[in-house]
Structure 1
Amino acid sequence: MGLNKDRTSVLLKKYSLYLETNKKDIMELPIPVVKTLTSKNCNFTQKDILEVVENKKPSEKIKEIEKRYSQLANKKAAEIERELEGLNIIEKP
């Protein structure tokens, strides 16, 4: 069992996710999924992480959750823009 720096890093990330979720399925997750869930830029909730771990296609579930967050962000941005237009802070195009 050759443990290099990369393999060790992935195992530690999986262990961290295991401690967070208490799901043994973590060990079966693909490396890209583990890296996404443990990245500093990941804003997934505990519920989102559990959905990914428990899904038979975790990579697709991540894409679905990211799309949902993107749509929510776009909606919020549009709402803020409308409010600013109403306050005459920004001009209408």
Structure 2
Amino acid sequence: MRRSAQVLVLAALSLAAGPAAAEVRFGPGVRIGGHDVSNRRYRSVHIERVRRLPGPPGCRHVRNGFYRRGDGSVVRGPMERCNLVAIPPHRR
């Protein structure tokens, strides 16, 4: 009886830890669908804008980039613009 209880407790703990182990965080403000990707920097340039661009996947360094914040203000300056392509689940 005691052995089966231990097995059940271990099974419950492993199932509870599964989703938490799958979570990936890059930093405090992770937003990939259009804005700030965790305040990353490339050299002295903030990587703030992520969206699908025409052309091949990958990142480009843009000197005169800009984007509009949610409050309506505009941020201008050098940044990295990326084409992000999701990796299919079977290839992760």
TM-score of the superposed pair, with normalisation by structure 2: 0.26
Larger Rg: 2
The structure that is helix-richer by fraction is 1
TM-score of the superposed pair, with normalisation by structure 1: 0.26
